[in-house]
Structure 1
Amino acid sequence: MIKNDVITIGLIGLGGMANAHRKMVSELEQLHLGALCDVNQELLKQIGDEEGISQEKRFHDMEALIADPDVNAVISIVPNNLHAEVLRLCIQYQKPVMAEKPFTLNFAEAEELALLYEKQPILCMVGFSYRYVPSFRYAKKIVEENKLGTIRHIAVRYLQSFGAPLFEVPYAWRFNKEVTGTGALGDLGAHMIDSARFFVGEFSSVSALMKTFVNERKDEKSGEMKNVDVDDYTSFQAVLENDVIGNFVTTRNAVGSGNQHEVTIYGDYGTIHVNCERPDEIDVCMKDEPGEKLVFKTEKVSEIYQKNQLQDFADLVKNNQQKGTPTFYDGYQNQKVIERIIQSAETGKTVTID
Structure 2
Amino acid sequence: MIKRNVVSVGLIGLGGMANAHRRMISELEQLQLMALCDVNSELLKRIGEEEEVKEEKRFNDMEALIADPDVDVVISIVPNHLHAKVLELCIQYQKPIMAEKPFTLNFEEAEDLAKLYEKLPIPCMIGFSYRYIPSFRYAKKLLEEKKIGSIRHIAVRYLQSFGAPLFEVPYAWRFNKAVTGTGALGDLGAHMIDSARFFVGEFQSVSALMETFVHERKDPISGEMKKVDVDDYASFQAVLEDNVLGNFVTTRNAIGSGNQHEVTIYGDYGTIHVNCERPDEIDLWTKEENEERPTFKTKKVPEHYQKQQLQDFADLVTDNQQVGTPTFDDGYQNQKVLERIIESAKRGQSVKVD
Maintained 8 Å contact 1:216/1:227: yes
Alignment partner of 1:81 is 2:102: no
1:21-66 per-position Cα deviation (integer Å, ceiling 9, x unaligned): 0000000000000000000001000100000000000000000000
Q: In structure 1, what is the equivalent of residue 226 of structure 2?
A: 226
Q: In structure 2, what is the equivalent of residue 273 of structure 1?
A: 273
Maintained 8 Å contact 2:72/2:95: yes
Alignment partner of 1:66 is 2:72: no
Check 1:172–1:103 CA distance in 2 against 1; reply closer, same or farther (3 A cut).
same
Q: Offset of 1:293 from its aligned partner?
A: 1.5
Work out the CA distance in 2 between the residues paired with 1:58 and 1:272: 46
Work out the CA distance in 1 between the residues paired with 2:52 and 2:353: 48
Matches within 5 A, 1:68-147: 68-147=68-147
Matches within 5 A, 1:282-321: 282-321=282-321
Maintained 8 Å contact 1:2/1:8: no
Work out the CA distance in 2 between the residues paired with 1:107 and 1:342: 11
Q: Counterpart of 1:17 in 2: which secondary structure?
A: helix
Maintained 8 Å contact 1:37/1:58: yes
Identical amino acids, percent of aligned pairs: 80
Specify the code of the residue in structure 1 equivalent to 2:145: E
Q: In structure 1, what is the equivalent of residue 204 of structure 2?
A: 204
Maintained 8 Å contact 2:2/2:317: no
Specify the code of the residue in structure 1 equivalent to 2:237: Q
Q: In structure 2, what is the equivalent of residue 237 of structure 1?
A: 237
Q: In structure 1, what is the equivalent of residue 342 of structure 2?
A: 342
Work out the CA distance in 2 between the residues paired with 1:314 and 1:131: 16
Q: Offset of 1:290 from its aligned partner?
A: 3.2
Q: In structure 2, what is the equivalent of residue 184 of structure 1?
A: 184
Alignment TM-score, normalising by the size of structure 2: 0.99
Work out the CA distance in 1 between the residues paired with 2:243 and 2:57: 51
Q: In structure 2, what is the equivalent of residue 260 of structure 1?
A: 260
Q: Counterpart of 2:16 in 1: which secondary structure?
A: coil
Maintained 8 Å contact 2:281/2:298: yes
Alignment partner of 1:55 is 2:58: no
Work out the CA distance in 1 between the residues paired with 2:99 and 2:340: 22
Stretches of 4+ moved more than 6 A in 1? none
1:269-309 per-position Cα deviation (integer Å, ceiling 9, x unaligned): 10010000000000000011134322000001111000000
Maintained 8 Å contact 1:105/1:180: yes
Q: Counterpart of 2:266 in 1: which secondary structure?
A: strand
User: Unpaired segments of 5 or more residues in structure 2?
Assistant: none
Work out the CA distance in 2 between the residues paired with 1:297 and 1:72: 46
Specify the code of the residue in structure 2 equivalent to 1:102: P
Specify the code of the residue in structure 2 equivalent to 1:118: E
Specify the code of the residue in structure 2 equivalent to 1:53: V
Work out the CA distance in 2 between the residues paired with 1:303 and 1:172: 39
User: Unpaired segments of 5 or more residues in structure 1?
Assistant: none
Q: Counterpart of 1:153 in 2: which secondary structure?
A: strand
Q: Counterpart of 2:47 in 1: which secondary structure?
A: helix
Q: In structure 1, what is the equivalent of residue 161 of structure 2?
A: 161
Alignment TM-score, normalising by the size of structure 1: 0.99
The total of aligned residue pairs comes to 354
Work out the CA distance in 2 between the residues paired with 1:4 and 1:110: 31
Maintained 8 Å contact 2:3/2:318: no
Maintained 8 Å contact 2:158/2:192: yes
Q: Counterpart of 1:208 in 2: which secondary structure?
A: strand
Specify the code of the residue in structure 2 equivalent to 1:44: L
Specify the code of the residue in structure 1 equivalent to 2:332: Y
